[in-house]
Structure 1
């Protein structure tokens, strides 16, 4: 069993992972006003490293104090107190033989003014999601279209957050360009109606992502990782394809492959679901356009699905199963029958109750 691909090593840049499994980034909304997650959330991450995961992702960390926040209780890592809170957590993860990756993002139009210190909601265009905000049961506000100053300011927030991650000792950072958050909003025909150099063609819609990556890469040491995440679905308006076509998506991947990134993480509803009217899933469509290491998540819950997902990707990221089952990796190793958890069961992540 140990010779199987799931439990074989994999090299990314100068890091050799002990196996092909990782804890997917999962927002917990557990931080208080100081921007620091609860201790039990820290302990959860360390425990998953101890129990065998090779990559431990943080939840998505906000990139600025003005307009990035989309949910209450989100964390930041731009003050010394925040950095110092993460340092021992990162060390413990690394001592367990795993690597620690900080994911960072800006919510863009998925924000609401009441949770943002500056009371603003900004986005590439003044286009709001069509569905109501599930937390407020009210429509999302129409966002302000970002000016060039706003764009520069937001990019600075990504850079400062990356600096905080490196200072805290993280092995790398991931720029969240998925799920209909700000970078995804620029990439998508659905939310980007600009007529300047940031809108229109795939190349123009990619420009903001490019500028974020280029700026962040300058503060990432050569011995750390810079990763990116993409998806074709968003937290709001979930049934909408965020990329207009297979060609639009694959062109974006080809542009990403020219950037100084070390891996691409592809988030899906279902890892094996055919995409864009083709007979290929998202991982396979991504692989056609890049030789970069690929991570995949979405619907992976047992040994069979893990092995199948690794036919088209290099690493699997697991959300609900690793959230609710601390022994999931040992259970997969033993090929035990494992249930697939529901979103309702995973909602315990958003309560004060410590997870196992």
Structure 2
């Protein structure tokens, strides 16, 4: 049993960031921006400031959309207008004042949306295949998306790059590209949602073309040492989805990452301890093929995180729900105090 957390609380240099600890605040959708403008207010400033005060090494924001058509939930923030960029400056200033590091997760939900959220236009996706289910917090069925033309693809790649530049202007220390969970980039990656016959379709290696183009554009805009990419098998509209051959799929992703030159990745799973193949978890399989920086996530507790860090499986450990319920989560860990349990209904309506 782990009783000390020396690795978890170890300062570390990752990319361009001098982090106080190896802990990460995982990105979590909160929907507390102004729904019409995508602007964030003082309550969001305080929300992130409190986690910085507590000593979190790296804060990854909630998903921030890169365009009006990227939106998939009411109340999500944006990074594509001047007003939005200005609204984030007090957030980054507050985090930096407390000695923290914060990066923006840049996001396009693709088909996981509804025309009433995307300015009356149909959602965009790799192919015109509707997702199953309902838009979270909106309770209307996902719309059938419009298949993106190559011109659309070029436009969206440019929007990712501009959002990354806007993040730096807003004072963020870098960006995480949300390429996971069945959102737009992952819709190109998946054979479930990508039936294209052009350069963006085909086998997995070929379907990763869009992801590679986004990664390259963002790296060119803000630098490889300020760029993180999140990927997964998990789909929000199909929680049971898994690659047919997990290790082969992971190796294909890793090969694609190497092509772009990215050095920091964030494999995402619901269960960090879930065995996928040959007795190994997702992060163990990724580590088998990847020697760069890796963020671990998936219902981690401090003991599991400390062990994974000591074994070199991951370089940073990300925590989600415990940090919503406990702004002082790390302080409680250090003191040996039990954290408050996460209560979904209570936390949905309150920024603490």
With the length of structure 2 as denominator, give the TM-score of the two structures: 0.92
What is the SS of the residue equivalent to 1:240?
A: coil
Q: Aligned runs of 1:8-23 on 2, under 5 Å?
A: 8-23=10-25
What is the SS of the residue equivalent to 2:62?
A: coil
Q: In 2, Cα distance between the equivalents of 1:179 and 1:243?
A: 17
Residue 63 (structure 1) shift? 0.9
Q: Does residue 61 of the first structure (1) align with residue 58 of the second (2)?
A: no
**1:346: which partner in 2?**
344
Residue 24 (structure 1) shift? 0.8
Q: In 2, Cα distance between the equivalents of 1:242 and 1:182?
A: 18
Q: Aligned runs of 1:192-207 on 2, under 5 Å?
A: 192-207=194-209
Q: In 2, Cα distance between the equivalents of 1:315 and 1:347?
A: 29
Q: Does the aligned pair in 1 maintain the 2:15–2:226 contact within 8 Å?
A: yes
**CA spacing shift, 1:22–1:134, aligned 2, 3 Å:** closer
Q: Aligned runs of 1:286-297 on 2, under 5 Å?
A: 286-297=286-297
Q: Does the aligned pair in 2 maintain the 1:190–1:242 contact within 8 Å?
A: no
* Alignment gaps of 5+ in structure 2: none
Q: In 2, Cα distance between the equivalents of 1:108 and 1:160?
A: 18
Q: How many residues align?
A: 347
Q: Aligned runs of 1:1-356 on 2, under 5 Å?
A: 4-32=6-34, 33-65=36-68, 67-221=69-223, 225-241=226-242, 245-275=246-276, 277-301=277-301, 303-310=302-309, 311=311, 312-338=313-339, 341=342, 345-351=343-349, 353-355=350-352
**CA spacing shift, 1:295–1:347, aligned 2, 3 Å:** farther
**CA spacing shift, 1:326–1:190, aligned 2, 3 Å:** same
Q: Does the aligned pair in 2 maintain the 1:234–1:242 contact within 8 Å?
A: no
What is the SS of the residue equivalent to 2:8?
A: helix
* Alignment gaps of 5+ in structure 1: none
Q: In 1, Cα distance between the equivalents of 2:203 and 2:286?
A: 20
With the length of structure 1 as denominator, give the TM-score of the two structures: 0.91
Residue 132 (structure 1) shift? 3.6
Q: In 2, Cα distance between the equivalents of 1:349 and 1:46?
A: 17
Q: In 2, Cα distance between the equivalents of 1:254 and 1:105?
A: 23
Q: In 1, Cα distance between the equivalents of 2:76 and 2:243?
A: 25
Q: In 1, Cα distance between the equivalents of 2:75 and 2:245?
A: 33
Residue 108 (structure 1) shift? 0.5
Which shifted more, 105-114 or 184-193?
184-193
Which shifted more, 318-327 or 194-203?
194-203
What is the SS of the residue equivalent to 1:190?
A: coil
1:170-228 per-residue CA deviation (whole Å, 9 max, x = no partner) reads 11011110011000111112211112111111221110001111111221157x51110
Q: In 2, Cα distance between the equivalents of 1:241 and 1:229?
A: 16
Which shifted more, 290-299 or 250-259?
250-259
**CA spacing shift, 1:112–1:3, aligned 2, 3 Å:** closer
RMSD: 2.0
Runs of 4+ in structure 1 off by over 4 angstroms are none
Q: In 2, Cα distance between the equivalents of 1:326 and 1:258?
A: 38
Q: Does the aligned pair in 2 maintain the 1:262–1:292 contact within 8 Å?
A: yes
What is the SS of the residue equivalent to 2:193?
A: coil
